Amino acid sequence: MKITKRLLVVLMVLFLGVSSFVLAQERPYEGIRLAVALRSLPETDFIVSKLGEFELMTGISVNVVTYPEEQLREREVIDATTGAGAYDVIAIDSVFIPEFAKAGWITPLEPYLKPEYEVEDISKFARDLLSYEGTLYGGPVYSEATQLMYQKSLFEDAGLAPPQTMEEYEEYAKKFTQPPDLYGVAMRGLRGNGMNIYIWSEWLWSYGGRYFDENWNPVFNSPEGVLATEKYAHLLQNYGPPGVATYGWDDVQNAFTTGKVAMIIDATNFYTRIEDPTKSQVAGNVGYAVVPEGPAGRFPGNYCMGFAISAVGAKTDEEKKAAAEFIQWATSREMELDKSLQADIISVTRDSVFNDPEFRAKFGGDWLESTMESFRITNPNYRPLIEEWREIGDRLGIEVENVIAGIKPAKEALDEAAAYAAEVLKKTGKIK
Amino acid sequence: MRELVLSSFFSFMLVADEEEGHCMRLNLGESYWLMLLPALIVLAAITFPPFFYSIYLSVHDVDLTKPYLGRPFVGVNNFITLFQDSRALNSFLNTGILVGSMVAIEFVLGLLIALLIDTYFPKATWLITLIIIPMTFPRVVVGLVWRIMLNPLIGVVNYLLQFLGLGAVDWLADPTMAMVSIIAVDVWQWTAFIVLLLLAGFQTLPKEPFDAAKVDGASGMDVFRYITIPLLQPVIVVALVFRVIDALRTFDIVYIMTRGGPGTSTETVDIFAYYIGISEAGRISYAAAVSLVMLFVTIVLITIFLRFSEQWQEEMY
């Protein structure tokens, strides 16, 4: 087994060496330098480790600048507003695509796509997330949905199947809660459009609420929204571990890996960490399922990170083409398959990778089924794809945290967030 | 000597004092200002442009992420918004509570520890080294480590509490406890700063007044009240001013430990300005207005404080 593996690697290296030698003959972008801003993730680290091949193949020299998660967007905003244009390619969260596109800071990727890129192969929701007004702006590096993860042994001992509905979810959460050894659920309470709001939105939709009406008036403070928020807060307050009101995704993950939490709803990519026996006490004991169904349906959340061409950095046509070349290489099908098979990265963005026999052999099972189903049914507008999102979502995050921490009643908190949202939308002219 | 140290600390404020003043005339004549000039030019170059630009920003409506909305002139609108915005006012209140409690506790504790060391272990430099260890940690690291230690589920603090038979405390997710935790961590880290300055102060005190007091039969408390404190007063002022200015800018610890939460219950002015200006929204004009008000408050506070301490000194002597 080991020998065949090694042989395979040697063959691959040989093949790559030969192919890059052949391609090196026609390096179309000789001498062009690209600066790429990204944050360090297993996904991007893998891509960066392969940069040599890309440089050899195209003649483009790539300079990578890495920022921590929270500073990446700030750096990019500052770079764009000051017109500095230090980066040609930027890594960008799907929720900020509308903001950046509307401001004219990113260039549409669509016109530069080559047929071999097979854009149709990218999961539909990921394409939608990285588009603004119907035009694709980014190539996906990473995508995820939210799903239910639970300790299988607990459910087996109790003779239960994973919860199918919100009522069952609450019922089981109550059943499993035995502090301080075991808590029913853990979910994000910490404020932020990508923190508590990322999970809370599922409750909003499931209970029949929505963000805006046809005229862009905020309506998440409707009776449905209030009920959803009360339900979410109730779950965390009564069946969550202490301190859950300020839990970020990392806290949720840590709590679950200690084995003190029965069920969590969070990102599909938790798989890698919670199934790692060196980091998790529940490795091998985790079941995966699509999120439970509420009165209005099932609403798994979604998120995607992509590479986009900076309109401020890549000014000339040649630079734009080179940037697009890089994005297509970094987010190609081959790259994604290599990422998964060589580095166990499972934030897959392409349908063909999900269906690849080798991938299925490695990651098949309830995780794969639940993830594929979640990708299929998730609504791209789970968090509204509008340029005002960040401001509205973050303010809402504060108010939802206020409710979870017991500082304000749900109605009052949501009214305040809705009033703020209306103000923002008036300023940008969406509300007349 | 002390005045010289002080004047290098507050080059601006105290240079003026010494001009009229009583003690140090270094006989530099005209070259006095000339020698300060390079430093003043550098200082002006790095402080004035951003300062004037923030004034420009504060009277316009600039939204970083919405360049298509233009940059209309709005006069004092941003300042009016501030005084009607409950979240903004809340951040000023939080900053006041944090600064007040942190500096007060640190000062009292610091004074006690400094007295203790000065009285019983005046030669123990190892003790001082030990005490200042927390100060040497970067604040972000301090925040992260405490955040983990205070985690109710996996943190060591609650583990010890439960070990002692006490209940678990929700350190960072309860509005009051979150504030208490932040104050405690800051006290843990920065009390040593007060200890250090006061100890240095103690060592510069002249011996004669103490000997005279002893001869006159003054009690320990009287010596402390009427000799130590007045003589130490300049050092106390420096220590307090530094801690207050520093505490007013509290950002890292709060940001790492609570992000200003739960809700906005630990959101300080700096964190609020950062959130609305760059992080959660691009309302840089409003953030500039908030920062200017904060600057104004700081200047007023420090001025009042220095005036008060001058008066205090006069009364003491």
- Indicate yes or no: CB of A390 within 8 angstroms of CB of B65: yes
For the beta carbon of residue A342, count every other beta carbon within 10 angstroms: 13
Closest to A188 in 3D by CA, of A266, A270, A269: A266
Q: What is the pLDDT of residue B30?
A: 72
Tell me what percent of the residues of chain A surpass a pLDDT of 70.
Answer: 94
Closest to A170 in 3D by CA, of A136, A139, A203, A210: A203
- Indicate yes or no: CB of B168 within 8 angstroms of CB of A407: no
Quick one: average pLDDT of A394-416?
A: 96
Beta carbons of B78 and B58 less than 8 angstroms apart: yes
Nearest Cα of chain B lies from the Cα of A100 at a distance, in angstroms, of 8
Smallest CA–CA distance from A237 into chain B, residue: B173
Q: What is the pLDDT of residue A6?
A: 64
Question: What is the residue-wise DSSP string for A180-218?
Answer: TTBEEEE---S-STTTHHHHHHHHHHHTT--SB-TT--B
Q: What is the pLDDT of residue A261?
A: 96
> A65: which strand partners?
A37
CA A368-A374-A376 angle, to 5 degrees, is: 105
pLDDT in tens, A415-427: 999 999 999 999 9
B103 vs A284, A429, B100, B186, B263, CA distance in Å? Answer: 51, 46, 6, 9, 25
pLDDT in tens, A22-34: 454 567 788 899 9
**Is the pLDDT at B19 greater than 50, yes or no?**
no
Query: Smallest Cβ distance to B153: which of A74, A242, A398?
Result: A242
Smallest CA–CA distance from B170 into chain A, residue: A243
Query: Smallest Cβ distance to B261: which of A102, A242, A401?
Result: A401
Q: Predicted ipTM?
A: 0.84
Q: What is the pLDDT of residue A277?
A: 95
Give the span between the Cα atoms of B61 and B73, in whole angstroms: 6
Query: Smallest Cβ distance to B281: which of A104, A242, A391?
Result: A391
- Residue bearing tokens 């965390």: A236
Beta carbons of A209 and B279 less than 8 angstroms apart: no
pTM of the model: 0.86
Q: Which residues of B touch A242 (CB under 8 A)?
A: 152-153, 158, 168, 170, 173
Nearest Cα of chain A lies from the Cα of B73 at a distance, in angstroms, of 15
Nearest Cα of chain B lies from the Cα of A7 at a distance, in angstroms, of 45
- Indicate yes or no: CB of A390 within 8 angstroms of CB of B174: no
Q: What is the pLDDT of residue B23?
A: 47
For the beta carbon of residue A237, count every other beta carbon within 10 angstroms: 15
Q: Which residues of B touch A410 (CB under 8 A)?
A: none
pLDDT band, very low/low/confident/very high, at A9 (cuts 50, 70, 90)? low
Q: What is the pLDDT of residue B20?
A: 46
3 state DSSP class of A62: strand
- Indicate yes or no: CB of B173 within 8 angstroms of CB of A189: yes
Instruction: Give A15: exposed, middle or buried? Use CB within 10 Å, 0-12, 13-18, 19+.
Output: exposed
Residue A122: φ, ψ to 5°:
-70, 135
> A144: which strand partners?
A303
Beta carbons of B260 and B175 less than 8 angstroms apart: no
